[in-house]
Structure 1
């Protein structure tokens, strides 16, 4: 008689998976580790899937701030930053941040939900948050727009959007998925085999040969390095080329850190200075790399080159968009590396004809220019402004990152601040939206929680981001927020007073920022110019978030772009 065998145990039923799971699985397969965002009704399918994934979620309180955080995360990591938001108002709230990401070439992958499929494109079905054509709002802002209509399309669409964001020129992209597709149960294996290799434009050999010939034969070569150098990680190639040519290097505001600040060939970043503009104009060959020579990089379009221009630019639309040049459509790192191999080394000081001492001794020419800049500033009685900026530099540890809002102290930093490293200073000067500094710093801190990050705002810009004190506290992010409180929109006050003799709509009621920070559980101190360095140092050394408030009314240095001979 045979012994009865126990019945086999039934296999456990796998947990149901949805279109939202396909989204997070696709992001994970592509290498994402952190996502930013804010949930909403139509996007709940993807947010529910987050709890079944290994992705780290950093949730901000306003979608625009979540976009700024993702932007800075992408800049600081040279990677792609996923941003998850909902339909309609939630989606549209990201537009200013995505405009900044586009201007700064930050690879933000924004994934938004849509109304149920039946309502997409109609605009009259009465769904909450419904728009007639949601994606149309993004087409003029982002690099590419992607749509999904079925769950099976999700992995490929995510990969295509990722590849677009991460290919040169890097930039934000928009992907939208209907609510019912995110919620629908799927019967497919988890996503694992997904690839999205970024495409980098390679320089054409004949253009490199022509550029190398011009630079080798130039008597006074000069280099202007923009944000494209930083985004491409081409700092070593830039340094090698500059030293081989003995060419002075100026960096744009977006390119700060691309070249060592104290290097004998460094012209630093005084681009709103007529002496610097004239120096660039006098180059017989000017190499512009990673910049479109836009408004700020050309001293408000007053720059008029007298010699030849060679331009290296990954964004085809910016190539020769403002000045005629030998245009090289290429990634900055690849093009600079090729030029280093092609150009001939320039001789030592004194090797040229005595008729052009600046050409024979470019290091002396750099020292002379910087002396003229200092002399101009010395006559403007701006000791407080320079003291405050020096105190910030003194307090900020080497290697730490700073993020700057649109405020007078940031305008000073663009020209005068030494970041003491590459990819260590981020600002909103690309699109110029208020409120960037603090949420951007949160994004940088999320990328590397082991190092302190400094955010700098004015009181006007700070009010855009106050809610994110809760985010900083919730995730215990090591961000110190310096708020320069001058009682209003300081730079607009200056602009209007200079233009019209009086300012309108610039004065602001504001809270006690230190007390407000304390209500969020964030330590805060009100400081003075004399105590700023010590108070900032202490805040940056302490764990977690902190706020330092500086009541001060700072002034801008006088512009010198209005007339060619303005030295005031």
Structure 2
């Protein structure tokens, strides 16, 4: 059979080092999918394109590799945009390859199936770049450039469209066995490093706020700990920054960012070093944070620098900036950093002890005990997930949440893909409302025999919205939901299902980690959030 444009795509991906591809076949993309058959790539077919994108996202987070996503034209491409917003907001490297109508129909209203007036423009808000291939000779370079840009700081999704006829036409491009890539790692400017080091050297009460950019930066966690130890400064982790410093490190002030004591600690620092975080809504305890001292703001995304607070802006990759600052900073002789971190944790414990949240705290403790220390966990926008933002200790694993964009349905498809990519069992946690966004992926989990445990906390509706609306207006509207018998539905997919109570859920979840293949645990429970004050 003659090679075609689809073969060029698949050969290029293989040369780039890709091993897995996520997506759903489509009419204009058939040439691409046929080429996969002649390759060593593993294709993971989900049931909804948005979940394919969440899957590629979860795969990238769990493996550290670029997630590759194939989308079909029109409805398929548009359906994935919500999940791409999460990857874009969180800085997850994805290469999105999208089919197009034949070149002769592009830009015209010829009635081609799936056609959009300007499909490329639809992706602009949720990707770092977009491009359209006009012939197969462009494909190796377009894909290699998009692959490089996806990983360049700040990382994120890139989008390449390929018309149907380019995929199907015979090609004279030689078989692709090599590619040229150029991933940019952004170093800081020397003068801002010197200024940041001087400020930190003179600080009496330095505090570090570590965001997701630290985790995503190669060597970022090690550089963070090294600088924190030089400064003897307490470190607060954001939701995305969980794991950048171990919670059992004496300088770790954990991640209770929705807490007035943590907010006060950040506010009262005479120098606050915020690294790899936008200091956005959640991190700032819903924009209540008002720093009293000097802020040094390090981020690879220029648009977030000093966006919420005046700051010395350091436009750089986190590891590069932290390493450069550490080389110039004067070690701080004070040894009060660990005492400050410990006092903060104690204050949080005292505050929680005065609230009626014993059941919620026990749930997080039981799930933590039930889940292996190295397991990767994925959390939806649900009350259990909001608790985990602050209370979950990742130990030796990785914590993943959809708080970048805040869309529902992330946890399960991301966890399925992560399990496939790593070969290790993952845990996904959803509410019953969010679970319905990704319920079809039970078929995907079963088809690929993914080692994934899915905990569904069933409270009969959108629990957090119910709580917000009741608190604000005295009653909730449109939050109560009809839903299926989740255990019976899972069983109909051939997925073992278990019913649990708050007393037994830890034991049940632990049992799934001794089995193979997907498992669902249904926990009927109405949880409530802690008060941040």
Please classify the TM superposition score into its range, dividing by the shorter chain length. over 0.9
Q: Which runs of 5+ in 2 are unaligned?
A: none
CA contact (8 A) 1:452 1:541 kept: no
CA distances 1:540-563 after superposition (whole Å, capped 9, x unpaired): 22111101111100000123xxxx
Quote the Cα distance in structure 2 between the aligned partners of 1:512 and 1:518: 10
Q: Does 1:448 align with 2:450?
A: no
Q: Match of 1:414?
A: 389
1:197 Cα shift?
2.2
Q: CA deviation at 1:292?
A: 1.2
Q: Deviations over 1:120-143 (max 9, x none)?
A: 112x11000011001111112211
Alpha-carbon separation, structure 2, partners of 1:542 and 1:144:
42
**How big is the shift at 1:85?**
1.0
C-alpha contact 2:267 2:290 (8 A) present in aligned 1 = yes
Structure 1 position 209, deviation (Å): 1.4
Are the counterparts in 1 of residues 209 and 275 from structure 2 also a CA contact under 8 Å? Answer: yes
Asked which structure has the greater CA Rg, the reply is: 1
CA distance in 2, matches of 1:43, 1:494: 44
Match for residue 438 of structure 1?
A: 412
Once superposed, what is the RMSD of the aligned Cα atoms? Answer: 1.0
Would you say 1:494 and 2:467 are equivalent positions?
yes
Q: Deviations over 1:302-350 (max 9, x none)?
A: 111111111110011111111111111111111111122221222153x
CA distance in 2, matches of 1:75, 1:149: 32
Offset of residue 153 of structure 1: 1.1
Indicate the residue corresponding to 1:160 in structure 2: 145
Find the counterpart in structure 2 of residue 111 from structure 1: 97
Aligned residues of 1:103 and 1:431 also touching (Cα < 8 A): yes
Give 1:253 shift: 0.7
CA distance in 1, matches of 2:461, 2:334: 52
The TM-score, its normalising length taken from structure 1, stands at 0.92
Q: TM-score, normalised by structure 2?
A: 0.98
Partner of residue 534, structure 1: 507
State the SS of the aligned residue for 1:160.
helix
Stretches (4+) displaced over 4 A: none
> Which whole-Å CA distance do the structure 2 matches of 1:401 and 1:34 have between them?
19
| Alignment pair present for 1:395 and 2:381 | no
Q: How many residues align?
A: 532
Q: In the alignment, which residue of structure 2 is the partner of 1:227?
A: 212
Aligned to 1:81: 67
Alignment partner of 2:202 out of 192, 211, 217: 217
Distance 1:172 1:152 in 2: 23
Structure 2: how far apart are the matches of 1:34 and 1:209? 43
**2 CA distance for matches of 1:333 and 1:362?**
22
Aligned counterpart for 1:462 among listed residues 417, 432, 435: 435
Which of these residues, 188, 194, 203, is aligned with residue 179 of structure 2?
194
2:361 to 380, 386, 393: 386
The residue aligned with 2:496 is 523
Q: CA deviation at 1:88?
A: 0.2
Deviations 1:478-499 (A, max 9, x none): 0000000001110010011011
- On the 8 A contact 1:146/1:176 being kept in 2, the answer is yes
Does the 8 A contact of 2:63 with 2:422 survive in 1? no
Q: Give ranges in structure 1 of 5+ residues lacking alignment.
A: 1-14, 350-360, 560-566
CA deviation profile, 1:54-79 (whole Å, cap 9, x unmatched):
11111111000000010111122222
Contact kept? 2:8, 2:175, Cα under 8 Å: yes
Higher mean alpha-carbon deviation, 367-376 vs 549-558, is at 367-376
Give, in whole Å, the separation in 2 of the partners of 1:378 and 1:128. Answer: 60
C-alpha distance after superposition, 1:30-84 (max 9, x if no partner): 1111111110000001000001111111111100000001011112222211100
* In the alignment, structure 1 residue 35 sits paired with structure 2 residue 25: no
Q: Does 1:326 align with 2:300?
A: no
Q: Deviations over 1:485-518 (max 9, x none)?
A: 0011100100110111111111111111111111
State the alpha-carbon separation in 2 of the partners of residues 69 and 133 from structure 1. Answer: 26
Answering whether residue 429 of structure 2 is matched by residue 429 of structure 1, we say: no
Contact 2:62/2:422 (8 A) holds in 1: no
The equivalent residue for 2:241 is 255
Partner of 2:520: 547
